[in-house]
Structure 1
């Protein structure tokens, strides 16, 4: 009897179909990034296909002269039509499960097409909500062909792996698709994207070199593109989030008013809405630790604390005013009232956010909890 069962099992297993419908990994193209533009009432799509065979076992391409990726370009009345046009020229199946980031052109944001992009990405079963999202004013075909410094793998680029460099210098926090959807669908229905550009300030032995640079932030709402804040005017955003890991301020300290750079970390932010007579204002408390990088003369911890407070307050105010000029709740103060006092939020909100003025921020309290001198040789230079 046992022999009959074994024979039957053997016969049945030979009839199983197996994984006949699975595409072999070497017979697929892997989409690493996508750029979307909008011109003349048509979407222009740029698909970056990465060559994993050259970097799969190393953080650097095994062949320095081999190209890491190719960029395909097509047009269509919809994003999907442009992609199907790209499929006409692709030799193998395109796999979307490894897409890491998407870059939106200024024209897409200005034309209020971001919702269509989100709809496209969230409907397709292979894409994920962890895709990084950026904005740019640069030509997408030029941006997507920039390779990392020292020819590092594209998977480790500033766009593909933004958290790596963010830990060292937290200028603009990277935003993924999930956070973009939440930001646009909850008060104040506004969100910022990291604004990226091409930096041509690098030089190699072969001549001029390029890299990707964080230029500032692009501000979006449900109604469309609100504008951009760039360079130092955007510095205030890093002091208004607990997710900032490390930032810097430079100020003048000591008897000779020499410039000193201090890094700030362990940042904790608390925003308190204060409602009086149907008028809302906000008290902002920011706590942090300071680390001294370099000193040329004796300064006191009191001087360091005072200068850090001065610079952080200045940067927060300046960025807030830049946001107001663009009619944007850049620090999402409306959400703070919504979370902490929804009853008053319902009374004061208009179109999902509250009206803000320069006086809406009542107080900014900055506390430097600790001053770390850094190297032991600095301890004698910093006076208590």
Structure 2
């Protein structure tokens, strides 16, 4: 009897542990996957359109989408060549760059799979580069696959490029041996340096889906071989790119949005002279009040800048003089106010509320929103009629050190 109980216990334990033994039944080795690290998306030209692979359709038998074909360029990791430590030399490329065309992103990836022996895997995708023309024609045709595919991380970077996106896939950066990692790290570090607000593909979709705000992305350009520059902020209206800012206007955008960390510098003329000083923003504090004025939405902005003087172009400027310093503070505040009003006006003309003013009205004035606005399209029209008051204060804390 005792022996039977022990055998029964062991049998039950065996059946309880049996499911755990099948935990890796569908595992696949990394070397058996074609890991895509980066994707560049362009419009296909006439020559490239003839390379349609006919994998998801037949030209004569099946219907196909009417949109213009897109060109997809992918960086695929070569097994064993992704550096995990110090460079050992050898000069072998860590990635393979391949280009295909398709009517949709999935169609293009299917064409790419026809040319690759291993299964394509998007779980390590770090960055997607959209050419400016693709962004202007709309991202909706790309969003569907990217949002449905569970392999794609929501923290992957998404940027707009001035040049062909395929050129970014072929970059050979001097600061990193893996081009896609350099591109992704550059975008990630922009926020840490105060050069751009947080930006990743999941946040882009969240803003795109909101009723009271339009999306935005970093706008990049290639200065020279292997060197990238943040050229501005690309702002959208719906799923289409509506315009772009200058690099300095990114700091203005962040101030209105309420991002506290500074990172931009600007030349300011010392009043009463032809001399200039370089003023750097260290931090900002933004207060926003929303109200209705004559039945129309109205915004009151109060922004306080904490600054320091990094440089002056003449020894004649007495920045240790409190009167001179006060005049520089007032001139800086005046310039900032003009820049803020100009940027708001520009986005109003485009009907693109990238600042998210509409979300403030939807949250704090729900009766007005539910009665007068209701939809994103109605807010686009209301935003063009929005009025605003801007007040800017600037305080310069430090003027640096200089040995006498």
TM-score, normalisation: structure 1: 0.83
- Where do residues 51-70 of structure 1 align in structure 2 (5 Å cutoff)? 51=78, 53-58=80-85, 61-63=87-89, 65-70=91-96
CA deviation string 1:91-110 (max 9, x = no partner): 32322111111112233223
> Against the structure 1 CA distance between its residues 98 and 35, is the aligned structure 2 distance closer, same or farther, given a 3 Å change threshold?
same
1:74 aligns with 2:91: no
Q: Secondary structure at the match of 2:207?
A: helix
Asked if 1 retains the 8 angstrom alpha-carbon contact of 2:41 and 2:166, the reply is no
TM-score, normalisation: structure 2: 0.79
CA deviation string 1:146-201 (max 9, x = no partner): 1333345435424444232443351x33521222122122133521211111112x
Asked if 1 retains the 8 angstrom alpha-carbon contact of 2:169 and 2:180, the reply is no
> Against the structure 1 CA distance between its residues 10 and 137, is the aligned structure 2 distance closer, same or farther, given a 3 Å change threshold?
same
From 133, 155, 158, give the equivalent of 1:133: 158
> Against the structure 1 CA distance between its residues 241 and 223, is the aligned structure 2 distance closer, same or farther, given a 3 Å change threshold?
closer
Higher strand share: 1
From 193, 197, 210, give the equivalent of 2:217: 193
Query: Residue 123 of structure 1: CA displacement?
Result: 0.8
- Where do residues 1-384 of structure 1 align in structure 2 (5 Å cutoff)? 1=3, 16=21, 19-39=24-44, 41-51=68-78, 53-58=80-85, 61-63=87-89, 65-112=91-138, 114-154=139-179, 156-170=181-195, 172-200=196-224, 209-222=225-238, 224-232=240-248, 235-243=251-259, 245=261, 246-253=263-270, 256-295=273-312, 296=315, 297-299=317-319, 300=322, 301-349=325-373, 351-353=377-379, 354-357=381-384, 360-369=386-395, 371-375=397-401, 377=402
> Against the structure 1 CA distance between its residues 182 and 154, is the aligned structure 2 distance closer, same or farther, given a 3 Å change threshold?
same
**Distance (whole Å) between structure 1 residues aligned to residue 42 and residue 251 of structure 2:** 28
Asked if 2 retains the 8 angstrom alpha-carbon contact of 1:187 and 1:332, the reply is no
Compare CA radii of gyration and give the structure with the larger one.
2
**Distance (whole Å) between structure 1 residues aligned to residue 94 and residue 389 of structure 2:** 51
Asked if 1 retains the 8 angstrom alpha-carbon contact of 2:127 and 2:183, the reply is no
**Distance (whole Å) between structure 1 residues aligned to residue 276 and residue 232 of structure 2:** 24
Give the unaligned 5+ runs of structure 2.
50-67
**Distance (whole Å) between structure 1 residues aligned to residue 25 and residue 347 of structure 2:** 56
Asked if 1 retains the 8 angstrom alpha-carbon contact of 2:70 and 2:102, the reply is yes
Deviates more, 1:6-15 or 1:177-186: 6-15
Asked if 2 retains the 8 angstrom alpha-carbon contact of 1:148 and 1:154, the reply is yes
**Distance (whole Å) between structure 1 residues aligned to residue 122 and residue 364 of structure 2:** 40
Give the unaligned 5+ runs of structure 1.
201-208
Asked if 1 retains the 8 angstrom alpha-carbon contact of 2:70 and 2:103, the reply is yes
Asked if 1 retains the 8 angstrom alpha-carbon contact of 2:172 and 2:179, the reply is yes
**Distance (whole Å) between structure 2 residues aligned to residue 266 and residue 64 of structure 1:** 46
Count of matched residue positions in the alignment of Structure 1 and Structure 2: 366
**Distance (whole Å) between structure 2 residues aligned to residue 218 and residue 104 of structure 1:** 11
Q: Secondary structure at the match of 2:150?
A: coil
Asked if 1 retains the 8 angstrom alpha-carbon contact of 2:175 and 2:182, the reply is no
Query: Residue 64 of structure 1: CA displacement?
Result: 7.0
**Distance (whole Å) between structure 1 residues aligned to residue 117 and residue 127 of structure 2:** 23
Query: Residue 264 of structure 1: CA displacement?
Result: 1.0
Query: Residue 142 of structure 1: CA displacement?
Result: 0.9
Query: Residue 83 of structure 1: CA displacement?
Result: 0.3
